[in-house]
Structures are given as C-alpha cells and as structure tokens.
Amino acid sequence: MAEELGLTGYVRNLSDQTTVEVVAEGERERLNKLLDFLKTGPPAARVDTTETEWHACTGKYKDFAIRH
C-alpha cells in the first residue's frame, strides 16, 4: 500500500514476533491513507492496536522497502 501511495520508508517485523514497525514519509494525505489501511491490514492479517508518532520528514529514504 505504501508503494501504491508513493511513500518512502520501510516496514519490518520486530523481534517480539507480533509487532510490525512502519516508517513512512510523504504527503500528509497519503500518510493518513496508509494509517487507515494499517488499522485493518491486508486480508488474513490481525491488527489489535496501532500507535502513531509524527516526526519531521528526513528525506533519507529513496523508496519503500521490506527490511528483515
């Protein structure tokens, strides 16, 4: 979804095996669309809670990547 929205940043699973971290940069409207998507997730996903932190855009990401 982040790629479709033209956002940059990354997504990764954290070591607790239940938490997914998403760092995304782009236009506020597109970021809000991503947040709406993340609250339900893709088919077969289970989303219990979401936490959001807003920070200034760094511009250090050139694309959106899956990190391992």
Average pLDDT of adjacent 10-residue blocks, the chain of 68 residues: 97 94 97 96 90 95 96
Structure tokens at 7: 């956002």
Question: Which pLDDT score is estimated for 67?
Answer: 96
Consecutive H or E run containing 33: helix 28-38
Question: Which pLDDT score is estimated for 48?
Answer: 92
Structure tokens at 58: 């760094």
Q: Which domains does the chain show, CATH number per domain?
A: 8-66 (3.30.70.100)
Paired strand residues for 8: 25
Question: Which pLDDT score is estimated for 42?
Answer: 86
Structure tokens at 54: 């807003």
Q: Are 64 and 48 in contact (CB under 8 A)?
A: no
Rounded-to-5 percentages of helix, strand, coil across the chain: 15, 20, 60
